[in-house]
Amino acid sequence: MTTPAGSAPAPGKKLNRIGLEVLQYRGSKTTLCAGCGHNAISERIIESCYDLGVDPKRVLKLSGIGCSSKSPAYFLSQAHGFNSVHGRMPSVATGALLANRTMAAIGISGDGDTGAIGVGQFVHLMRRNLPLVYIIEDNGCYGLTKGQFSPTADVGSTLKNGVVNDLPPIDTCVMAIELGATFVARSFSGDKKQLTALLKGALSHKGTAMLDVLSPCVTFNDHEGSTKSYSYVKDHEEPVADVSFVPYFEDIAIEQEEGTSRTVTLHDGSKIVLHKLDRDFDPTSRGESLRVLRETSERGEYATGLLYVDPAKKDFCSMLNLVDEPLAFLPPAVTRPPASVLDELMDKQR
């Protein structure tokens, strides 16, 4: 049997809704350190795309530079990939999606790639609501260049050699919410269930889905004194709600007892179900989301889960009124108006 992804599945293997086995969602063998949080995130991306039946050949994988930005090589080997310049993935993603908005795009960045050299590009990406899943693999350091502090490192956290960070951190979730991203979440590479649900929600969202995933660097930032280590994040994770995801193709009734669950319906009909923990939390209220982020940060905790969502706002491609046919497939005769059209325009200016 030939599959949408091209290669035939091994006999007897479990297939997903588009006839692919999980192996067909894998990438090359990782070259990152054993135990690096980034590897766990790649695994969750593989699982989420397999479960949703995403066609890997219809996916664009984009990244900048860093250990995190190497990750796209380790999932979805049949997807299209572009490893760009440090901090410049957002502009490459914007160009690629404007040329062909029928592709599903996953961008992988690092806290350095996003918060330092790429912060200008990040800011404008969040304002535009480009239909892209943007994942920050956040370890609070520049892993690839041997562990210097990044802009997400907390005040008072230390390097392995004892040097203390004196600068206040950038909170990428606060920035994304303030600037207009329409799906903002924080998770932990070690929280399999929460991260998978959030990734599935992000993949089904039409607009910018920004996920800041705390992802410990076992080689340079996993010691006592780091607030991005496995043990610190495990002890200070404060979920805002227990999150689960129901895709549009699974027509199952959702248990929704008054006061215990809240459902957010995404553009494609998929549902994100937020089960109440010990607090009321409304992820559609920007003010409420920012308040929870500020309060948890003041306590030295990380609010995790779906922090903000607005499924109704138009995405960037729709705002630009692009024609239905992807620009990449239009012939030059259509995309390049003849000289007479330019002359006519110039005449109007005179």
Ligand X SMILES: Cc1ncc(C[n+]2csc(CCOP(=O)(O)OP(=O)(O)O)c2C)c(N)n1
Footprint on this chain of ligand SF4 (rule: CB under 6 A) = 32-33, 36, 38, 67, 139, 143-144, 217-220
For the record, the structure tokens of 218 come out as 């076992």
The least CB distance from residue 248 to ligand SF4, in Å, is: 35
Site for ligand X in 72-91 (CB under 6 A): 86
The least CB distance from residue 70 to ligand X, in Å, is: 8
Round to whole Å and give the CA distance between 206 and 183.
9
Nearest to ligand X of 151, 283 (CB atom): 151
Helix, coil or strand: residue 324: coil
Round to whole Å and give the CA distance between 113 and 68.
9
Site for ligand X in 35-74 (CB under 6 A): 65-68
* Phi, psi of 99, deg, nearest 5: -75, -35
For the record, the structure tokens of 198 come out as 């959030």
- Would you give the binding string for Mg ion spanning residues 100-119, x where CB under 5 A is met? ----------xxx-------
Element (H, E) at 244: strand 242-246
The least CB distance from residue 182 to Mg ion, in Å, is: 25
Torsional class of 76: left (φ above 0), alpha (ψ -120 to 50), beta (otherwise): left
The least CB distance from residue 138 to ligand SF4, in Å, is: 11
Q: Decide which of ligand SF4, Mg ion, ligand X, none touches 220; Cβ closer than 5 to 8 Å per partner kind.
A: ligand SF4
Q: Decide which of Mg ion, ligand SF4, ligand X, none touches 305; Cβ closer than 5 to 8 Å per partner kind.
A: none
Q: Of 145, 132, 19, which is closest to residue 82 (Cα–Cα)?
A: 132
Q: Give the binding-site size for ligand X (rule: CB under 6 A).
A: 18
Neighbours of 209 (CB within 10 A): 28
| Residue reference for tokens 């303030």 | 178
Return the amino acid letter for 119. Answer: V
Q: Decide which of Mg ion, ligand X, ligand SF4, none touches 113; Cβ closer than 5 to 8 Å per partner kind.
A: ligand X
Round to whole Å and give the CA distance between 68 and 39.
9
Q: Decide which of ligand SF4, ligand X, Mg ion, none touches 145; Cβ closer than 5 to 8 Å per partner kind.
A: ligand X
Residue 311 as a binder of ligand X (CB under 6 A): the answer is no
Q: Decide which of ligand X, ligand SF4, Mg ion, none touches 72; Cβ closer than 5 to 8 Å per partner kind.
A: none
Q: Which range, of 111-119, 204-212, 241-249, 264-272, touches ligand X by CB under 6 A?
A: 111-119
Neighbours of 269 (CB within 10 A): 12
Site for ligand X in 137-156 (CB under 6 A): 137, 139, 141-145, 150
Residue 110 as a binder of ligand X (CB under 6 A): the answer is yes
Nearest to ligand SF4 of 50, 75 (CB atom): 75
| Upper half-sphere CA count for residue 339 (Cβ side, 13 Å) | 0
Q: At what angle do helices 172-179 and 119-128 cross, to 10 degrees?
A: 40
For the record, the structure tokens of 326 come out as 């992807």
- Residues lying near ligand X in the complex (CB under 6 A) are found at 65-68, 86, 110-113, 117, 137, 139, 141-145, 150
